[in-house]
Chain A
Amino acid sequence: MLILECPYCGVKAEETELSPGYEAHLKRFGPGSSDTEFEDYMFARKNPKGVHFERWRHVYGCGKWFLAARCTATLEVFGTYPAQSAEPPADLQAKIKAKRPDWKGYK
């Protein structure tokens, strides 16, 4: 039963207030993309043991989507940030790197 802080309303929300949206920072491939690109976009999901970026919606709160960086093995939460982010904030990436030196980056 996770606790994630909603970066919009600042509430430390319990999992029952949230709905999951799976992997974050996916690039959409539409018409004109190759079969491989579309397959990757649609189906190829990361399943790391360790640092992972996810989409969550504060559905029973402010209704906003946000992104979370979390360790799938220990459930440590490194941080949350708005969904309107093309990539994880630099300070968050630095924090993760400090805690998990083996981390290869969000891509």
Chain B
Amino acid sequence: MSTRLSRGGRLIDRSASQEFSFNGKKLRGLKGDTLAAALLANDQMLVGRSFKYHRPRGIVAAGPEEPNALVGMGRGARFEPNQRVTTTELFNGLEAQSQNHWPSLEFDVGVINNSLARFLPGGFYYKTFMYPRAAWKHLFEPIIRASAGLGKAPKDRDADRYEQAYAFCDVLVIGGGIAGLQAALVAGASGARVIVLEQTAHWGGRAPVDGDVIEGAPADAWVKSAVEALGKMENVTLRVRTMGAGVYDHGYVLAEEKIADHTPGDGRPKHRLWRIRAGRIVTATGAIERPLSFAGNDIPGVMLAASVRDYVVNFAVSPGDRTVVVTNNDDAYRTAIALKEAGLEVPAIIDARVSVTGDLPARARAMGIRIEAGRAIAKVKGGKRVTGVAICIQAGEGSVLEEIACDAVAMSGGWSPVVHLWSHCGGKLVWDTTHAHFRPDATKPPTNQDGQAMVIAVGNANGAMSAADALADAAKGGAAAAEATSFKAEVKAASATQVTEAPMEAVWIMPQGAGSALKAKMWLDYQNDVKVSDVQLAAREGYESVEHTKRYTTLGMATDQGKLSNINGLAILAQSLNEDIPQVGTTTFRPPYTPVTLGALAGESRGEIFQPLRKTPMHAWHEAQNAYMEPVGLWRRPYTFPRAGETHEQSVHREVNNTRTNLGLLDASTLGKIIVKGPDAGKFLDMLYTGVMSNLPVGKCRYGLMCNEQGFLSDDGVVARIDEETWLCHTTSGGADRIHAWMEDWLQCEWWDWKVYTANITEQLAQVAVVGPNARKLLEKLGGMDVSKETLPFMQWADGTLGGFPVRVYRISFSGELSYEIAVPASLGAAFWEALHKAGAEFGTMPYGTEALHIMRAEKGFIMIGDETDGTVIPQDLNLGWAISKKKADFLGKRGQERNYLASPDRWKLAGFETLDGSVVPDGSYIVAAGHNANGQGNTQGRVTSTYYSPTLKRGIAMGLIHGGLNRIGDVVEFNTVSGGTVKAKVVDPVFYDKDGAKQNV
């Protein structure tokens, strides 16, 4: 059984006991433990079930590479799935639940898949669920959905907050092991601004556990002094619990700092996402140990050798009383020695190499540990826990020589440098035959904006595998990074005592000649249940590309992204294809290195501040009136102002009726307002609009259309000529910024010699539409300027005062009623709005919202950009040919509209529609036509673009595009409905109300 040892443990505080629970069971750990260490200290070796076969799984590793030990953490609004126990710091009150099992971890029904394993080979999903087709929906999909998914998604809104921060530096060092610290010391001493990130809570990485001796003392002492020295440098920032997640273009790095994971609910942000821009990036990310592929290598109790040593040395936790070490290299002997020194039994070291030399094996021998050279594990015995191993010859087929009882197996297949960050931006790798791993190819680094190398890998991450080599390499790399950012650096490395290690030997299958029965129990990818046999099958079935094999077998997918499995998997693939490993290559490394929580990526952009909110000066008034608001771009506009007991539909209809019979007030402040000014402004607007604006007399208004270069309608609005050189262009509410940018684009990039200035003054003005038969009465009551028909006729504007407010009054109408749109400085908007309501009470004034506006414009047959247009509609389609100048030689969109498809008489054109039964045509309806097209779909001859119940006409009205357009007036057509039937409608003129304009021209 795994247990806590009575002495040792460099990271734990035995005086600080911490209580936590696992699957509801109360357990105790120590301050400084990871959750993994605490679980092992409580003999909780079984921590989860595998994804596909639901096999029992235990803790394999001690770091972020852990594939098995994922748990759900916390509860309710603080629940998080798929948390790795190996990187989770223990705290008092921690709650964890294991995943992927039903009904319980100990007894899991899904394990039946395990007995069916031979029927669930690689690519199973692709092969099996094809036929019969009906079975997919009713049989396969429900079962797969019920069993799929790693962990459970949280149900509640996240109670924590997350933040983002920017940082800038000359040299960013990622990794706080001895190589990272050495690189930072050299770069820091040069005066460069340095940031050092370490993903765990501790500096020093593996060196203290591995017993390295630096400057004549244990590594711990050197690490302490290095961190102290760095802490004293003002140009150096140190950050623990911060994982370098991804390297992006031009020295941009994302890093995630786990601030309050171990102190939940203490008021601090849970995580902070760092957005760092670095001159050079030094990756000192270390290496990850590889598993060995032998039968039963997934049984709980089989762990990585260095991780076993981590638990013993860091946490005083033993994975078992008797641990068999199996290896192809010298490093694993450190584990055997550490176990022995902790007073534990190592019944044997199974070394696949025939010849075992080197300092470390010699020490192990001297300690009396039995070493079996040229041997392999034929099979691990046990179910939910290792009970023993069967030993065979590595060169053979697996005939058992001997069985050794043990309760843990420490395996080491060699080390793979963590090359992820090097590779994210295109750094290339080279295959190192000595260590059987890929390491960064320094001649093909990722490059920055100047074409220079932007990432420098150092230490283990660069293939410098001993402490002495790593320190020397890191000093060199740190200096190179500083020099590249214009600092003078001195290459000065701490010296470490060199331990002579004999070469490792690449072992991809154990034993070498294992038959299919054994290979079907050799796990490559623990998280996705991919075995040696699956990859070999994929190769046999023609999946030669490593990227295809990955997707076919799911090797290297999910939360660990193959940190343990990738190299072993592609070695098997290369063997099966009879190719060299470098020829097969790796799958693409993509950020993030380990999962970054979505909360950190969102940061503060959630809830009400997800986007900036634009508010008109009257916004507070609308809210006080309980207006029902709707988003319009980034604006919030009142949709309607419901009164007590009213539905929205009722209040919208009341607002329409009141505006048509008395007086309505609309907050039109969101309307885009762009000043275009200069000697060439008229010429410019003639290019922008389809009509002529240069000859618009001062004091007058004109409706205009803007098209893009393809000829499609882009925006519309009323233009007012302010003075000889100045025009004011109104745009749609959502279009102001876009149209202003469009103007600037043409002025800066095409007609840069034209003397024109533009200014978007949308937010400088509040605007109110005063609409209805009583509109003039209200303005006359306020007094201050002449608003009579004679002085201020339709489509003119005037400056003046109303009730003491400085105003600009436009006589324009989007409703068909007598209407004044009145602009006041934004700071006076709220006061003016309230003054209008107060003075208008006797005339029956009511505010109205956007829905009433829409209905009234549809009753008048006015088009709305975004309803009648969708980026494929030209003005001619909407019978707006009258707004297009025939005289102008050129305007934006003119050439586009000449294309034969747009000039075709067969285009669908605008018409009005009245249902025969008075009902409202559903949104999105098509007008059906006889017959079917080549795909067997029913033919169509048009579609609805706007459809409303008209309270004025007391019936459903619609606008739409139909083949033949206004020539079809009088025809009866059918619109399809949501329920599957159709509704009959008569084609009519789209102006449903006051066609002659008698009501607006008064």
* Shortest beta-carbon distance from A22 to chain B in Å: 11
Q: Mark B244-259, 1 if CB is under 8 A from A, else 0.
A: 0000111110000000
Flag A94-106 by CB within 8 Å of B: 1 or 0 each.
0000010000000
Contact of B752 among A42, A55, A84 (CB under 8 A): A84
Out of A30, A63, A99, which one reaches B744, CB within 8 Å? A63
- The reply to whether the CB of B516 lies closer than 8 angstroms to some CB of chain A is no
In the docked arrangement, what's the CA distance between A65 and B746, Å?
10
- Closest chain B residue to A70 by CB distance? B449
B755 within 8 A of A: no
Given contacts A3-B250, A30-B894, A31-B890, is CB(A77)–CB(B449) below 8 Å? Answer: yes
Asked whether any CB of chain B lies closer than 8 Å to the CB of A36, the reply is: no
Residues of A within 8 A of B426 (CB): 74
A1 and B249: CB pair below 8 A?
A: yes
Residue of B with least CB distance to A4: B449
Among the 9-residue stretches B485-493, B641-649, B895-903, B979-987, the one with 4 or more Cβ atoms under 8 Å from chain A is B895-903
Q: Of B449, B745, B752, which contacts A21 at CB under 8 A?
A: B745
B residues 895-921 touching A (CB-CB < 8 Å): 895-896, 898-899
Cβ of A18 within 8 Å of any chain B Cβ, yes or no, is no
Mask for A1-13, Cβ within 8 A of B = 1, else 0? 1110000000000
B748 at interface, CB cutoff 8 A: yes
| Minimum Cβ distance to chain A for residue B611 (Å) | 15
Interface residues on A, range: 20 to 34
Report B-chain residues with C-beta under 8 Å of the C-beta of A35.
899
Q: How far is the CA of A19 from the CA of B447 in the complex (A)?
A: 23
B541 at the interface (CB under 8 A from A): no
Asked if residues B250 and A1 are in contact (CB atoms below 8 Å), the reply is yes
- Whether the Cβ atoms of A65 and B248 lie closer than 8 Å is no
CB distance from A85 to the nearest CB of B (A): 9
Say if the beta carbon of A59 comes within 8 Å of chain B.
yes
B587 within 8 A of A: no
Set of chain A residues within 8 Å of B117, measured between Cβ atoms: none
The digit string for B610-632, where 1 denotes a CB below 8 A from any CB of A, is: 00000000000000000000000
Q: A30-B890, A30-B894, A31-B889 are in contact. Are A65 and B748 (CB under 8 A)?
A: yes
Decide yes or no whether B267 CB sits under 8 A from chain A.
Answer: no
Interface residues of B in 739-772 (CB under 8 A from A): 741, 744-745, 748-750, 752
Choice from B449, B450, B889, B896 contacting A42 with Cβ under 8 Å: B896
**Interfacial chain B residues near A3, Cβ < 8 Å:** 250-251, 277, 449
Q: Which of B752, B895, B899 contacts A30 (CB 8 A)?
A: B895
Cα–Cα distance between A27 and B277 once the two chains are bound (Å): 37
Cα of A30 to Cα of B891 in the assembled complex, Å: 8
Contacts of A33 in B (CB 8 A): 895
Q: Which of A54-93 contact B (CB under 8 A)?
A: 55, 57, 59, 63-65, 71, 74-77, 83-84
Q: B709 within 8 Å of A by Cβ?
A: yes
**Given known contacts A1-B250, A74-B447, A28 and B745 CB-to-CB distance under 8 angstroms:** no
Within 8 Å of chain A (Cβ to Cβ): is B931? Answer: no
Q: What 1/0 mask marks residues of chain B from 150 to 193 whose CB sits below 8 Å from any chain A CB?
A: 00000000000000000000000000000000000000000000
Minimum CB distance partner of A74 in chain B = B447
Chain B residues contacting A76 (CB-CB under 8 Å) are 447-451
Min CB gap B248→A, angstroms: 5
Q: How far is the CB of B754 from chain A (nearest CB, A)?
A: 12
State A40–B889 Cα separation when bound (angstroms).
21
Taking a contact as CB atoms under 8 Å apart, the answer to whether B741 and A2 are in contact is no
**Chain B, range 212-257, C-beta contacts under 8 Å to A:** 248-252
Q: Does B594 lie at the interface of the complex (its beta carbon under 8 Å from any beta carbon of A)? A: no
Please tell me if B710 contacts chain A, counting CB pairs below 8 Å: yes
Q: Is the CB of A57 within 8 A of B741?
A: yes
How far is A84 from B962 in the complex, measured between Cα atoms in Å? 45
User: In the bound complex, do residue A75 and residue B250 qualify as a contact, i.e. CB atoms below 8 Å apart?
Assistant: yes
Contacts of B251 in A (CB 8 A): 3
Q: Which of A1, A21, A55 contacts B248 (CB 8 A)?
A: A1
Q: A31-B889, A76-B447, A77-B449 are in contact. Are A55 and B250 (CB under 8 A)?
A: no
Chain A residues, Cβ within 8 Å of B450: 76-77
Q: If A1-B248, A31-B894 touch, does A99 touch B745 (CB 8 Å cutoff)?
A: no
B246 to A: closest C-beta gap in Å: 10
Question: Which chain A residue shows the least CB distance to B752?
Answer: A84
> Interface digits, B790-806 against A, CB 8 Å rule (1 contact, 0 not)?
00000000000000000
B749 and A65 contacting across the interface, CB-CB below 8 Å: yes
Nearest Cβ in chain B — how far from A37, in angstroms?
9
Nearest opposing residue in chain A for B687, CB measure: A30
A75 to B249, CA, bound (A): 7
A19, A29, A30: which has the most chain B beta carbons within 10 Å? A30
CB closest chain-A residue, reference B748: A65
Query: A64 touching B250 by the CB < 8 A rule?
Result: no
The B-contacting residues of A in range 24-46, CB under 8 angstroms, are: 28-33, 35, 38, 42
B252 proximity list for chain A (CB < 8 A): 1, 14
A14 contacts which chain B residues (CB < 8 A)?
252, 277
B-side contacts of A32, CB under 8 Å: 895
Once A2-B449, A75-B449 are accepted as A-B contacts, the answer to whether A42 and B709 lie under 8 Å apart by CB is yes
Chain A residues whose C-beta falls within 8 Å of the C-beta of B890 in the assembled complex: 30-31
Output the residue of B449, B748, B750, B752 with the most chain A CB within 10 A. Answer: B449
Q: Are B745 and A65 in contact (CB under 8 A)?
A: yes
Contact B895 A29 (CB under 8 A): yes
Distance from B634 Cβ to chain A, minimum over Cβ atoms (Å): 15
A92 to chain B, nearest CB (A): 15
Q: Which residue on chain B has the smallest CB distance to residue A64?
A: B748
Is B250's CB under 8 angstroms from A42's CB?
A: no
Decide yes or no: A83 and B899 within 8 Å by CB, A30-B894, A76-B451 being known contacts.
no
The answer to whether B895 and A38 touch across the interface, beta carbons within 8 angstroms, is: yes
Are the C-beta atoms of A65 and B744 separated by less than 8 Å?
Answer: yes
* In the complex, chain B residues whose CB is within 8 Å of the CB of A77: 449-450
Q: Report A-chain residues with C-beta under 8 Å of the C-beta of B250.
A: 1-3, 75
**B447 and A84 form a contact (CB under 8 A):** no
In-complex Cβ contact of A74 among B248, B451, B750, B899 (8 A): B451
Instruction: Report how far A1 CA is from B276 CA in the complex, Å.
Output: 11
- Chain B residue at smallest Cβ distance from A71: B451
Closest B residue by C-beta to A78: B451
B242-296 contacts to A (CB < 8 Å): 248-252, 277
Interchain nearest-CB distance for A91 vs B (Å): 17
Say how far B169's CB is from chain A's closest CB, in angstroms. Answer: 14
Q: Is the CB of B741 within 8 A of A59?
A: yes
**What is the CA–CA distance of A31 and B897 in the complex, to the nearest angstrom?**
10
Among A21, A31, A35, A84, max chain B CB count under 10 A is at A31
Chain B: minimal CB distance from A14 (Å): 7
Q: When chains A and B are docked, how far (Å) is the Cα of A83 from the Cα of B752?
A: 9
Residues of A within 8 A of B248 (CB): 1
Give A52 Cβ to nearest chain B Cβ, in Å.
14
CB distance from B170 to the nearest CB of A (A): 14
Verify A28–B748 contact, CB threshold 8 A.
Answer: no
CB pair B449 A55 closer than 8 Å = no
- Which residue of the partner chain A has the closest CB to B446? A74
Distance between B2 CB and nearest chain A CB, rounded to angstroms: 45
Give Cα distance in the complex from A1 to B890, angstroms.
39
Query: Within B8-60, which residues are at the interface with A (CB < 8 Å)?
Result: none
For the complex, give the distance between the alpha carbons of A65 and B750 in Å. 11
- Contact residues in B for A74 (Cβ distance below 8 Å): 426, 447, 451
- Tell me the complex Cα distance, A2–B449, Å: 8
Q: A57-B741, A75-B249 are in contact. Are A31 and B898 (CB under 8 A)?
A: yes
Residues of B within 8 A of A1 (CB): 248-250, 252
Distance in angstroms from A32 CB to nearest chain B CB is: 8
Q: Which residues of A contact B744 (CB under 8 A)?
A: 57, 63, 65
Q: What are 17 inter-chain pairs, A to B, with CB distance below 8 A?
A: A1-B249, A2-B250, A3-B449, A21-B745, A21-B749, A29-B895, A30-B890, A31-B898, A33-B895, A57-B741, A65-B748, A76-B448, A76-B450, A76-B451, A77-B450, A83-B752, A99-B451
